[in-house]
Structure 1
Amino acid sequence: MPMPVNEHLRSVWTPRERAFFVDSGEGTKSSGHFTIWRPGSASERFLLIALVVGALAVGPLSAAFGPMWAPLVLLAPIILFGGLRLRPPGLVVLLAAAAISVVHGTVATGLHVVPLLVIAVVVLLAVRLASYRDNVGIRGMRGGRLLADLRDRLKTINRIAPLPRGWGCKAVTRQAPGSLFSADLTLSHQAGDRLEVALVDVSGKGTDAASRALMIAGALGGLLGTVPAERFLAASNAYLLDQPELEGIVTALHLSLDLSTGGYTIRCAGHPPAARLAPGSGTWHLSDAHGIALGVTDDAEWIPEKGSLAKGDALMLFTDGMWDPRLGLDSGVDRLLGEAESLVTKGYKEAGNLAKSLAGKRDDCALVLIWRT
């Protein structure tokens, strides 16, 4: 239903906010939103007045001093700043003032095509900025700060708990080139001699997957160490099935390791298998743990693999971003394991170089290497 004219006029001076609601009961569910009005701040109103006055002044100044000293293109920064700081109703008023100024200046000094084209491009950009920022509820440059905060939170989540003497770990997470975020997550929890690690791959990459990755990391990170290790994948699966808005595939590797004995259990949910290296053999062996990806069906089962790490043994968990996607799963894993054999002579701490040299150029990647010294 279109908004009445009086509400359009009111929204220029008094901000309106959307409140969301959900109704459920009797087997039905509906949702929507309604508008509430809040008092406008003095700074918002002063900014609107200042920008409108500035825009209206450009035309008369251009007519008085000529386009050489007061060109109409001076409207461009005013309009662009308005797109960053004003809500769409206020921007409409500013654009109307700019149009009046353009007409005034053009009548007085004649038609100049280039300045008008520049102003037209800036108007389109300002409208796009204002509408986008209004949809997400941000003003000015706060959007950049929000993205930076989201990135820092994801980095904080991707960590491994400190290990006791006799154990070593190397964890590497890298986002896709040109992206601020990684949708590959490394979660861990340590309580006493029990270490749990979950390597999670959320479908998508970069900003598109950032919000889903943060939600999933918070939920699965809360489950890790809270529910019994054998129930972690089942609890994670139940959570994702209960969140239909979290679209896409989520795969995971879950490791439960006893730091006192070296005994471990690996569970796999649609993820590339873990690998184990025993120095006596000098080769990596893939885990037989397998199962369906998370969030697909409520009757999923995950077949675990149990084993024990002796001194010098290592476990490697990784995502499919560790190789070029054109290689495919089997070829990519073979290449990774072939390169990883060099860790026997170079040392496990050199695992970070694998991510640098092998990781695909278009995807996120993560690698976790745990060894017993």
Structure 2
Amino acid sequence: MAETSWSAVRRPLDRFSEWRMRLRRRMVDSDRPALVALVLLAIAITIGGILNVDVVPQVAMLVPIFLATLWLGPRTLPWFVVFCLACVVVLLAAQPTISTRTISRVVITFGIAFLVMVTSFRRARLGVAGPRGESMFVDLRDRIANQGTIPALPSEWLVESATRSAGGTSFGGDFLVASRATDGSTVELIVVDVSGKGIEAGTRSLLLSGAFGGLASAVPPAEFLTAANEYLLRQDWDEGFASAVHLHLRLCTGEFELRKAGHPPAIWLHAGSGRWTTLDSDGPVLGLIPDTDFEVVTGTLMPGDALLMYTDGLVETSSRDIGSGIDKLAGLGQVLFAQGFEGSAQHLIDRLATGNDDGAVVMVHRRTLVGEA
């Protein structure tokens, strides 16, 4: 009786294991349907070229080769290209006469096939086909953007951010990390500028955005820059440094703590006086000096006040020093008191960012509620 019960239980388990192994093989052999279709297409082109060379020339074999670059992985692609070149040789042998134009077509086909194979060998390090690799990068880019998504905040607070990469690419060295405490009382906003710009800094920003996002919610605010500095030192990169500014904001009172590491100072726009001040503090860039401390600047954002955090791509250019750039940014910020701060982050980056360097800006505004007005 016990054996019968065990057999009844084990039979579905065996079926599940068999189904799982079959699914795994199907995932490994995901190129097989595309490969079969492309082989059939290459054979059809070969047969058509043998029957009527005027209708199907040798260069028609470039069609399955091109489709293979989209559908096949880097391990399968070279063998299929070799198969297509063998079909080209068959077509050439079937020619009654070989003209100079025919030889030119064959040479062009072999040249393009060679370039495809070289590209395939370079992609072999990644192990996926071109479109799949691109989709992976798009997913990573979206993950960076998600790290900088501003969490839901009380209606009293308006926080906006905007970034722009050098050269207009989707990857850059400037990014934002934003997180809110589980009890909703505080919010952490971190603006980071990784060494380099554009695509060169994109890979480092991909790694650091995830690491800094984890640190922001795992360590106390006073220890964040210290932990980030130790993390960068352990990476041992040739250009493994970054600047950052970290804002710890208490939402119920407006009290804040600001620390920076080799970063341009934040700008505090005072609604009461209409003036602005810079919040500067000592602290070296991240990833260069071990066991360092970061000075803290404290204050309280009153209703109507605003705080701007940004990277040097907004205030420093080849024709403008950083001091003049900060003055211009603060002047534009003061104009926003009359115009309103909605859409201000994108407005500032459109006015000040250039295509030669990455840029990022975060605007924190404490609204004046109707009852307080």
| TM-score with structure 2 setting the length | 0.79
Cα distance, 1:136 vs. partner?
0.8
Would the alpha carbon gap of residues 170 and 357 (structure 1) be closer, same or farther in structure 2, given more than 3 Å must change?
A: same
Per the alignment, in what secondary structure is the counterpart of residue 349 of structure 1?
coil
The residue that corresponds to 2:329 in the other structure is 336
The residue that corresponds to 1:135 in the other structure is 125
| 8 Å CA contact 1:56, 1:100 repeated in 2 | no
Once the two structures are overlaid, the 10-residue window that deviates more, 270-279 or 175-184, is 175-184
| Paired residue type of 2:296 | P
The residue that corresponds to 2:201 in the other structure is 209
Would the alpha carbon gap of residues 40 and 289 (structure 1) be closer, same or farther in structure 2, given more than 3 Å must change?
A: closer
The residue that corresponds to 1:73 in the other structure is 59
Name the CA distance, whole Å, in 1 between partners of 2:167 and 2:124. Answer: 29
The residue that corresponds to 2:312 in the other structure is 320
Query: Aligned runs of 1:1-373 on 2, under 5 Å?
Result: 44=31, 48=35, 51=38, 54-55=41-42, 58=45, 61-66=48-53, 68-84=54-70, 85-86=72-73, 87=75, 89-91=78-80, 93-94=82-83, 96-98=85-87, 100-101=89-90, 103-104=92-93, 108-112=97-101, 114-116=104-106, 118-139=108-129, 141-191=131-181, 192-245=184-237, 247-323=239-315, 325-326=317-318, 327-351=320-344, 352-373=346-367
| Paired residue type of 2:52 | F
The residue that corresponds to 1:21 in the other structure is none
Unaligned 5+ runs, structure 1: 1-37
Cα distance, 1:278 vs. partner?
0.9
Cα distance, 1:150 vs. partner?
1.5
Per the alignment, in what secondary structure is the counterpart of residue 316 of structure 1?
strand
Cα distance, 1:225 vs. partner?
3.2
| 8 Å CA contact 2:81, 2:113 repeated in 1 | no
| Paired residue type of 1:128 | V
Q: Which has the higher strand share?
A: 1
Q: Which has the higher contact order (CA 8 A, sep 6+)?
A: 2
| 8 Å CA contact 1:323, 1:360 repeated in 2 | no
Cα distance, 1:222 vs. partner?
1.0
Cα distance, 1:110 vs. partner?
2.3
Name the CA distance, whole Å, in 1 between partners of 2:217 and 2:35. Answer: 53
Would the alpha carbon gap of residues 350 and 50 (structure 1) be closer, same or farther in structure 2, given more than 3 Å must change?
A: closer
Describe the superposition over 1:260-314 as per-residue Cα deviations: whole angstroms up to 9, x where unpaired: 2222111110111111011233232111213111111212222221222222221
Name the CA distance, whole Å, in 1 between partners of 2:288 and 2:272. Answer: 40
- When the two chains are superposed, the root-mean-square deviation of aligned CA atoms in Å is 2.8
Once the two structures are overlaid, the 10-residue window that deviates more, 299-308 or 99-108, is 99-108
Name the CA distance, whole Å, in 2 between partners of 1:340 and 1:42. Answer: 57
Name the CA distance, whole Å, in 2 between partners of 1:45 and 1:164. Answer: 53
How many residue pairs get aligned? The number is: 335
| 8 Å CA contact 2:176, 2:189 repeated in 1 | yes
Describe the superposition over 1:120-148 as per-residue Cα deviations: whole angstroms up to 9, x where unpaired: 44224312331232121112521222122
Name the CA distance, whole Å, in 1 between partners of 2:309 and 2:69. Answer: 46
Once the two structures are overlaid, the 10-residue window that deviates more, 190-199 or 242-251, is 242-251
Name the CA distance, whole Å, in 1 between partners of 2:287 and 2:39. Answer: 52
The residue that corresponds to 1:13 in the other structure is none
Once the two structures are overlaid, the 10-residue window that deviates more, 222-231 or 177-186, is 177-186
Per the alignment, in what secondary structure is the counterpart of residue 253 of structure 1?
strand
The residue that corresponds to 2:8 in the other structure is none
| 8 Å CA contact 2:65, 2:81 repeated in 1 | no
Would the alpha carbon gap of residues 69 and 244 (structure 1) be closer, same or farther in structure 2, given more than 3 Å must change?
A: same
Name the CA distance, whole Å, in 2 between partners of 1:166 and 1:52. Answer: 64
Cα distance, 1:49 vs. partner?
6.2
| 8 Å CA contact 1:170, 1:370 repeated in 2 | yes
Unaligned 5+ runs, structure 2: 1-24, 368-373
Describe the superposition over 1:51-73 as per-residue Cα deviations: whole angstroms up to 9, x where unpaired: 4565466566435423x211111
| Paired residue type of 1:111 | T
Describe the superposition over 1:179-203 as per-residue Cα deviations: whole angstroms up to 9, x where unpaired: 1223322112222322221111122
Would the alpha carbon gap of residues 44 and 162 (structure 1) be closer, same or farther in structure 2, given more than 3 Å must change?
A: closer
| Paired residue type of 1:360 | T
Name the CA distance, whole Å, in 2 between partners of 1:246 and 1:137. Answer: 26
Would the alpha carbon gap of residues 120 and 196 (structure 1) be closer, same or farther in structure 2, given more than 3 Å must change?
A: same
| 8 Å CA contact 2:179, 2:187 repeated in 1 | yes
Per the alignment, in what secondary structure is the counterpart of residue 321 of structure 2?
helix
Name the CA distance, whole Å, in 2 between partners of 1:114 and 1:336. Answer: 60
| 8 Å CA contact 1:79, 1:94 repeated in 2 | no
Determine what percentage of the aligned residue pairs are the same residue.
35
